[in-house]
Chains A and B, each alone.
Chain A
Amino acid sequence: MSPDHVILEMRSITKEFPGVKALSDVSITVKRGEIHAICGENGAGKSTLMKVLSGVYPAGTYTGDIIYQGQNVHFKDIRSSEEAGIVIIHQELALIPELSITENIFLGNEPTKWGAIDWITAKKTALELLARVGLRDNPDTLIKNIGVGKQQLVEIAKALNKSVKVLILDEPTAALNESDSMHLLDLIRGLKGKGISSIMISHKLNEIEQVADSITIIRDGKTIETLDVVADGVNEDRIIRGMVGRSLESRFPDRTPHIGEVFFEVRDWTVQHPQIAERMVVKRSSLNVRKGEIVGIAGLMGAGRTELAMSIFGRSYGNFISGHLYKDGKEIVLRSVADAIDHGLAYVSEDRKALGLNLLDDVKRSVVSAKLSKISSGPVVNDSKEFGIAEEYRKSLRIKTPSVNAGVSKLSGGNQQKVVLAKWMFTDPDLLILDEPTRGIDVGAKYEIYGIIQQLAEQGKGVILISSELPELLGLADRIYTVFEGAITDCIPAESADPETLMKSMTSARKKVQSI
């Protein structure tokens, strides 16, 4: 390999945080026009490595060299790396919801004419960029009115506008549904044809197998190996072996379900959009959950799955219009989240940063935050109980953190998710509603979380599992409801479910489901 094929090299990067060595002596080499995947377990240091590369952690805060286009570079902030053509797209998108697509694309980079922003040029360029990423929306549309999938494309358009040479994508498809993911991956492949290299972090190994040219595997802050996908004949199992250090026999733990009676029921549930009065986000939906059962909910992004779950959970979303909830044969009315928790419901949100955690808190406080009364005598919180409980969960869920006194903002994405799970397990719910619980979680941890879900079901609890990953639903659920445009369209027992039938019910208003 001659050096001019190499666009970027990171050599012996070491990065320490107080008490944590996030990276030690990590090196990667990215060739011109390749898609280079970075794989590793949660907390392995993938995001940190990319933050070093993109100047989020400026030169001087790490050791090692970054050689970019033959030059040893020292980026002092994101701007300087962007000027050099290295653009990072973080998992939490950095778009401004109240601004239009055009305004977002040119934010901080506005074309000017006589000192004023030249909106005509801007719009023209925006249209060209949007065409390149395959987005046909009006560039005047506000960001908040387009879905996450499209927002991701806007981010890429924004990157293209900065004449990007190395595009870094940190878990770009984590929040996308299958078809949006496919579109995005196609786009990245297309960019490769134009000589743009991409570095992609993802826990969706099937995607990596499809698009990546080479893969660097990181474990515990160290480079384990770099694989050439074609030459080494890499498949998913091979990647997992590198990540975990051993092979995983199966993706789902074994389980024989012990399903009892229906103990939770939702009838004719209708919910109005919080702002738009004419719009019903949930329409006359009914479903039930049995003891010891894992009930899946499948639907496309925006179908109203989250809205359904949150409105059940103490009316925490939208305006409640009508419907009834029954638990253990009795009707219950949940006017607030506190009510819901008291009645044994728990809801693990899909958006851990915005809705799941107080990022200013430490791990131990977060774990107990949804049921402080459990560790309090009267109004007084017992600190040592809190510590003990947090420690238990740290061990049983294998949360990777130097201590439970560490702030949750310092945990890697996957470990933050485990903290959220711990928080809701601590409330000891009868019905656990999980909204995309494995988003951004590595294969090993996924397996663990599946095990935990099954264990909860084994204890006779009911679980509602909302997931965009069909294999996950098929592998875990005993029964799957499909949702389309706010209405439940079908209820399919696990035995007869397959991706095709699910997809069909998820994309069309078929029949009204009859309770089984």
Chain B
Amino acid sequence: MSENTSTRTGALGDLKKMFGSGSSNLRQFGILFSLIAIILLFQYLTDGLTLSSGNLINLVSQYSYILILAIGMVMVIIAGHIDLSVGSVAAFVGIVVATAMRDWNFPWPLAILLGLVVGMLIGAWQGAWVAYVGVPAFIVTLAGMLIFRGGNQVIGNANTVPVPDGFTIIGSGYLPEVGPNTGFNNLTLLLGLIIVLAVVASEWRARRVQKIMGSTPAPLWASIVKVVLLCAVIVYASVLFAGGRVGTSFPVSGIILGVLVLFYAFVTRNTIFGRHVYAVGGNKLAAELSGVKSRRVNFLVMMNMSILAALAGMIFVARSVASGPQDGLSWELDAIAAVFIGGAAVSGGIGTVVGSIIGGLVMAVLNNGLQLLGVGSDWVQIIKGMVLLVAVGVDVWNKSQGRPSIIGLLTRKKKTTEFPAEPPLVVPDTGTPESARPPATRPN
């Protein structure tokens, strides 16, 4: 029977298998597919400007902090909450750190540490309200949004506070030039190479695990095609990143983001804590009756979000060389949008870190592409809103049809045609019901 269904979806089925099995993977595949489509579209519309070195580097350093927020936000949303305060928390931490360096002469590494600690304290404060007092996160973080935005203005007197040079590395630094002059940034190339090796290794491992688990892995050719495609993309990207204007290369903030993605993808997928986050969001009562300490989970998830918000705030401040009262305005919306485009469910229990990153990239590329085309920010907002609505709408609609995501839409037509044509509405002759009865084995 399973063979039956896989042959039915045919080549597209194999294509889907290339990106792993399981519904969450299929969904991610759908979003990835849209991301690629959007990139190609803008590449065409901007005459190749989208995939130029300068633009890519700019893209990463401009959106890394939103993506960092999305990592924390997806965990909050999986657990069944929301965090509206991230933008304000980022701004608050930014001003605290900037002030600490200017007025209290904190050396910048210590200032970063201070920022993280402040983020942690804020997170503990909000987490306690959510987890132990039981106030809905929507309310707690709505309050936090006001409190910390105000806090930013109190500390900075509603002014901007500049930050010293050393600190700006995390926001506008690049991988340094080392080794022989190849015309490219060597470290970036090396990074690309490491990723390529990692991709090959992980695919090999995934195939082995799939075999152990008895699920039929995709045919070998599919694996190879997948790995070759992915590696080609990585090599192409690293060459682009490495070949930018002299002095630029892969941004430090991108590296921070990459490390965080790997770490949190692992935490959510492979650790007990990660399982507990999904359990609490999926069915809190059942989770509690399985020994999950749901309050602790909620507390930690909220706290983690604020720590990441603090980090994002500092990166932003480092990039713009000063902290100001308008920092982080409406970041929460971008982060939340990224998570939902990435396939998370409003009701909790569903979502992935990688999906959210892809969702965030969709938003980033869209924003960036529209800007390159010179579209005004009014229209950018309208378009982004529509994309969010359509992406989640397609997802919800497909789920109600029992098919995953956008790719489901593509395979849908195919499947319905394979059902026999609808029988006529009224059968002309009902016949004798006896004749249609199954042969009944009468007992003697």
Instruction: Answer yes or no: are A and B bound together in one complex.
Output: yes
Where the two chains meet, the residues of A that have a C-beta atom closer than 8 Å to any C-beta of B are 1, 3, 6, 9, 11-12, 16-21, 25-27, 29, 59-60, 63, 65, 67, 70-72, 74, 223-227, 232, 238, 313-314, 316, 336-338, 340-341, 347, 349, 354-361, 365, 369-373, 376, 379-381, 383-384, 387, 391, 402-403, 405, 407, 423
Residues of chain A contacted by B213 (CB below 8 angstroms)? 383-384, 387, 405
Contacts of A18 in B (CB 8 A): 5, 402
B279: A residues at CB distance < 8 A: 358, 361, 369
- How far apart are the CA atoms of A30 and B393 in the complex, in Å? 41
Given contacts A18-B5, A338-B293, A405-B22, contact A225 B440 (CB under 8 A): yes
The 10 lowest CB-CB distance pairs between A and B, nearest first, are A358-B282, A360-B282, A338-B291, A370-B290, A223-B438, A358-B283, A72-B427, A360-B349, A387-B213, A341-B291
Neighbouring B residues of A314 by C-beta, 8 Å: 291
Contact B426 A357 (CB under 8 A): no
Q: Does B432 contact A (CB under 8 A)?
A: yes
**From A6, A17, A21, A381, contact of B433 by CB (8 A):** A6
Smallest Cβ-Cβ distance to A361: which chain B residue = B282
* Proximity bits, B419-432, A CB within 8 Å = 1, else 0: 11011111100101
Q: How far is the CA of A383 from the CA of B213 in the complex (A)?
A: 9
Choice from B5, B278, B290, B419 contacting A60 with Cβ under 8 Å: B419
* Chain A at the B interface: SS class: mixed
Q: How far is the CA of A29 from the CA of B441 in the complex (A)?
A: 15
13 A-B Cβ contacts within 8 A?
A: A11-B436, A17-B402, A27-B438, A72-B424, A72-B430, A225-B440, A361-B278, A369-B287, A380-B271, A387-B214, A403-B215, A405-B21, A405-B215
Given contact pairs A11-B436, A27-B438, A337 touches B289 in the complex (Cβ within 8 A): yes
Q: Is the CB of A379 within 8 A of B272?
A: yes
Main secondary structure, interface of B, reads loop
Whether A63 pairs with B214 at a CB distance below 8 angstroms is no
Q: Does B181 count as interface, using CB distance less than 8 angstroms?
A: no
Which residues of B are found within 8 Å of A358, using beta-carbon distances?
278-279, 282-283, 286-287, 349
Q: Is B427 touching A65 in the complex (CB atoms < 8 A)?
A: yes
CA distance A313 to B5 in the complex (A): 44
Which residues of chain B in 241-286 are interfacial with respect to chain A, using CB atoms and an 8 Å cutoff? 270-275, 278-279, 282-283, 285-286
**Cβ-defined contact, A357 with B286, below 8 A:** yes
What residues of chain B lie closer than 8 Å to A65, measured between beta carbons?
423, 427
Chain B residue contacts of A338, Cβ below 8 A? 291-293
| Contact partners of A360 in chain B: CB under 8 A | 278, 282-283, 349-350
Instruction: Check A9/B349 contact, CB under 8 A, given A227-B443, A337-B289.
Output: no
Task: Determine if B413 is an interface residue (Cβ-Cβ < 8 Å).
Answer: no
Q: Which residues of A contact B287 (CB under 8 A)?
A: 358, 369
Chain A residues with CB under 8 Å of B425's CB are 72, 74
How many angstroms from the CA of A365 to the CA of B283 in the assembled complex? 14
| Chain A residues, CB < 8 A from B426 | 71-72
Give residues in B with beta carbon < 8 Å to A: 1-2, 5, 21-23, 209, 212-215, 270-275, 278-279, 282-283, 285-293, 349-350, 402, 416, 419-420, 422-427, 430, 432-434, 436-438, 440-443
**Chain B, residue nearest A357 (CB):** B286
State how many angstroms separate the Cβ of B251 from the closest Cβ of chain A. Answer: 30
Query: Shortest distance in angstroms between B432's beta carbon and chain A's nearest beta carbon?
Result: 7
Which residue of chain B is the closest to A316 with respect to CB atoms? B289
In contact, B434 and A1 (Cβ under 8 angstroms): yes
When A225-B440, A226-B437 are in contact, do A3 and B272 touch as well, CB less than 8 Å?
no
In the bound assembly, the distance between CA atoms of A337 and B296 in angstroms comes to: 14
Q: Which of A6, A9, A29, A384 contacts B209 (CB 8 A)?
A: A384
Flag if A1 contacts B433 (CB, 8 Å): yes
Q: Which of A9, A16, A225 is the one whose CB lies under 8 Å from B441?
A: A225
Whether A224 and B443, one on each chain, are in contact in the complex, defined by CB atoms closer than 8 angstroms, is no
Q: Is the CB of B272 within 8 A of A372?
A: yes
**A369-B279, A405-B22 provided; 10 other pairs, C-beta below 8 A?**
A21-B1, A67-B433, A71-B426, A72-B425, A72-B427, A225-B440, A358-B282, A358-B283, A370-B291, A384-B213
In the complex, the answer to whether A316 meets B288 with C-beta atoms within 8 Å is: yes
Select A391's contact among B2, B21, B214, beta carbons within 8 Å. Answer: B214
Complex CA distance for A391 and B290, rounded to whole angstroms: 20
**Residue in A70, A358, A371, A381 whose Cβ sees the most chain B Cβ within 10 Å:** A358
The answer for the CA separation of A25 and B436 in the assembled complex, in Å, is 11
